[in-house]
Structure 1
Amino acid sequence: MLELYQFELSQYSEKVRFILDYKGLAYRKIEVTPGVGQLELFLLSGQRQVPVLKDGNRVIADSTSIAMYLEENYPEKPIIPLQSTRKALCLMMEEWADESIGTKSRKVLFGGLSKDMNLRNSVLPSNTPDFLKNILTNVPRELVDILGFGVGLSPEAVKAAEKALKQDLEALCLLLKDSPYLTGDTPTLADLSVAGLSLLLKFPSGPYLNIPENMRGKGVPGFADNPEYETFFQWRDRFYTDYRRPIYASSPSSPNSIEIE
């Protein structure tokens, strides 16, 4: 069986999960523990980032490389068009989504966590002790901003990402206004990438992720609840309904701890 080494809340892992589910492939999710688990992942793949796909003796890192591997080796339900113009648009949009939605959404989520104590509370595990939850949810915004400087998430960087991502979502809404998919009348890698990479802007409301129920349907204020982007998120939600496999529908996709052979 295919094995996906992942973080459950990694938007790039979600992109690969969308592709696997769309193609109807059975796979086992293996949750990588940040830190020590990433060192073990390095022994397996030669790098520390998720997602990593293991198919027998083959190990493939990077979401785009995984997508290309799956398309070549599991061609049923193709995700890359054959027609040259549509293929070019699909590949260009996939790369754009990685660099735009994929990277900017992390900064935007951090900005949302710094501003919204309710959102900050929702991303904490359900078994977090009440005293610790109270401490973490009431950290002053100024302190969160200071912490952000240390990881390249200054208020200026967050603001720039928010501005750029709003323009990106406006463009996606225009594309989807009169079309069911981004590059034509059938789903492609472009659609699967954009849908998966938008994970951090708004968590799906259905049982598609192994997350606390109070996180489902929550999102970054100003994005997930903005009526200007309703076209996009309604499309994204339909994409989950149509193509993502609920976690209760297939027990092998429930996360397991990392195991390196």
Structure 2
Amino acid sequence: MTIELYQFEVSQYSEKVRLILDYKGLDYRKIEVTPGVGQLEIYQMSGQRQVPVIKDGNRVVADSTAIAKYLDETYPDRPLIPTAPKSRALTLMMEEWADESIGAKSRLLLFSGLKDQSFRSALLPPNTPELVKNLVEAVPSEVLQAVGFGIGASPEAVQAAETAIQQDLEALCLLLQDSPYLTGDTPTLADFSVAGLSMLLKFPEGNYLDLPEQLQGKGVPGIADNPLYETFFTWRDRLYAEYRQPRIPTTTAQAGQPTSINIE
């Protein structure tokens, strides 16, 4: 049976789940949720409006952490959470930390990167009409800054997030100096959480996401291109190469089209 993953393509929490599904070798079908109407339908199915959500047979599970635990219990091959007490504790603590730190703060840093017009338009689906691309590029930076204040992305909040992310990446680089994975000699939920949630800091190299090719390996200036964090991003690229399945190309008509889901 194929698992259905209700997602946003450029959602680092969805990417966390995609990494886990690929690592476990599970068959799944991505269903891109239409913002607005699709989220209302998600609410009817799961009781909340956020993605990711999976549907496995008659079972519906929301939230990336709950999904990871469900998948580990239901499909125990290639376990995500160790049984040894210390390793289990470290894995669960790091997964929670990654959600609250890298997951939340990287979105603020990505928003600051939208002030670059070319980067902003490159995030649009590949088949976006040229007129829409031009309109998006034409949005003044002052307007984006005003919007940023409204959603908690003031310059002060972005600077605080950047400082925190720099500290996080320094700590991760130190952890990875003498270890192939974050909590031991085998990958765990901690690794896939940190790797997936860092997606918005620097998009992975390779054909893993339905994004313009020019965004591969690109990300937040001062973070994605900083040699101080090369150890971390090299590790993450290796994790992708070993466990993430490349995206199957879609036709031009299919690419980038969100799907309004049907609730049974």
TM-score, normalized by length of structure 2? 0.93
Query: Which position in structure 2 is the counterpart of 1:19?
Result: 20
Q: Which amino acid aligns with 1:180?
A: P
- Which SS does the other structure have where 1:5 is aligned? strand
Question: Is 1:182 the counterpart of 2:185 in the alignment?
Answer: no
Instruction: Report the more deviating stretch, 20-29 or 212-221.
Output: 212-221
Aligned to 1:195: 195
- 1:43 corresponding residue in structure 2: 44
Instruction: Report whether the alignment pairs 1:76 with 2:85.
Output: no
**SS at 1:211's partner residue?**
coil
Cα distance, 1:131 vs structure 2: 4.3
Say which SS state the counterpart of residue 248 (structure 2) adopts: helix
Other structure's SS at 2:30 match: strand
Q: Matched residue of 2:6: which SS? A: strand
Q: Secondary structure at the match of 1:248?
A: coil
Alignment-mate amino acid for residue 5 of structure 1: Y
Residue type of the partner of 2:262? Answer: E
Q: Offset of 1:151 from its aligned partner?
A: 1.4
Mapping of 1:11-160 within 5 angstroms?
A: 11-114=12-115, 116-160=116-160
**Matched residue SS, 1:184:** coil
Residues 30-61 of structure 1, C-alpha deviation per residue, up to 9 Å, x if partnerless? 11111000000111001100000111111101
After alignment, is 139-148 or 186-195 more displaced?
139-148
Query: What's the offset of the Cα at 1:218?
Result: 1.6
- Alignment: residue pair count: 258
RMSD of aligned alpha carbons: 1.9
Amino acid at match of 2:184: G
The whole-number CA distance in structure 1 between the counterparts of 2:14 and 2:69 is 15
Residues 127-136 or 92-101, more deviating = 127-136
Which amino acid in the other structure matches residue 127 of structure 1? Answer: N
Matched, 1:208 2:211: no
Structure 1: gaps spanning 5 or more residues: none
Greater shift, 140-149 or 90-99, is seen at 140-149
Question: Where do residues 180-259 of structure 1 align in structure 2 (5 Å cutoff)?
Answer: 180-248=180-248, 257=259, 258-259=261-262
Contact kept, 8 Å, 1:108 with 1:220, in 2: the verdict is yes
What are the Cα deviations for residues 89-134 of structure 1, in whole angstroms up to 9, with x where unaligned? 00000000000010001001001112x2332232123333444433
Find the aligned partners of 1:129 and 1:2 in 2 and give their Cα distance. 32
Q: What is the aligned-residue identity percentage?
A: 68
TM-score under structure 1 normalisation? 0.94
**Aligned residue number for residue 253 of structure 2:** none
Residues 79 and 26 of structure 1: CA distance in aligned 2, closer, same or farther (over 3 Å): same
Conserved? CA contact 2:13–2:64, under 8 Å? yes
Instruction: Kindly provide the amino acid, as one letter, of the partner of residue 190 in structure 1.
Output: A
In structure 2, the residue corresponding to 1:181 is in which secondary structure? coil
Q: Which runs of 5+ in 2 are unaligned?
A: 251-255
Preserved CA contact (<8 Å) 1:119 1:218:
no
Q: Distance in 2 between matches of 1:213 and 1:260?
A: 33
